[in-house]
């Protein structure tokens, strides 16, 4: 087998052909992995409580109006996502990361504000994201 034949074999599409795909998760290729986190009703209820804790803690912060507006937008998205019957943990994790990034940009050190760190730690545990993704 020539060198060209070896490189072509390494880039094969494994015979997969599709015109339309509908899936919650999809992994294709050598050593590909896919996962989905689903939450039962009790976990969704706990997550909703965490969002309320987070909302109360954020309400007590003194922030510039433009920072508060951006943070409130993420909080609204988080509240909406956690209120859905068909909750997507990955979406919750993404919103939480955006929220923590905006808090950091506003000068808030999350690890030093217990009222924020505690609900964010609980949220990270529920949706299975590493704490450092949230700046904790």
Percentage of the chain surpassing pLDDT 70?
75
Closest residue by Cα to residue 119 from 73, 48, 51: 51
Q: Is residue 16 pLDDT above 80, yes or no?
A: no
Whole-model pTM? 0.67
pLDDT tens for each residue of 23-67: 556 667 777 766 555 666 777 788 889 999 999 999 988 899 999
Q: How confident is the model at residue 105 (pLDDT cuts 50, 70, 90)?
A: very high
Mean pLDDT value of segment 1-27: 61
Q: SS3 string of the chain?
A: CCHHHHHHHHCCCCCCCCCCCCCCCCCCCCCCCCCCCCCCHHHHHHHHHHHHHHHHHHHCCCCCHHHHHHHHHHHHHHHHHHHCCCCCHHHHHHHHHHHHHHHHHCCCCHHHCHHHHHHHHHHHHHHCCCHHHHCC
Q: Is residue 4 pLDDT above 60, yes or no?
A: no
Indicate the domain borders of the chain: 41-134
List the Cα angle 114/104/63 in 5-degree steps. Answer: 80
Whole-number pLDDT of residue 118: 92
Closest residue by Cα to residue 90 from 55, 126, 120: 126
């Amino acid at each position: 087998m020539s060198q060209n034949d070896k490189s072509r074999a390494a880039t094969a599409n494994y015979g997969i052909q599709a015109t339309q795909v509908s899936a919650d998760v999809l992994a294709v290729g050598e050593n590909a992995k896919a996962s989905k986190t689903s939450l039962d009703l009790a976990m969704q209820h706990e997550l909703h409580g965490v969002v309320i804790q987070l909302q109360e803690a954020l309400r007590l912060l003194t922030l510039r109006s433009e920072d508060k507006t951006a943070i409130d937008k993420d909080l609204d998205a988080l509240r909406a996502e956690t209120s859905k019957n068909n909750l997507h943990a990955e979406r919750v994790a993404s919103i939480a990361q955006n929220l923590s990034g905006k808090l950091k940009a506003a000068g808030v050190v999350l690890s030093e504000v217990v009222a924020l760190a505690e609900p964010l730690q609980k949220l990270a545990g529920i949706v299975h994201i590493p704490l450092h993704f949230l700046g904790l």
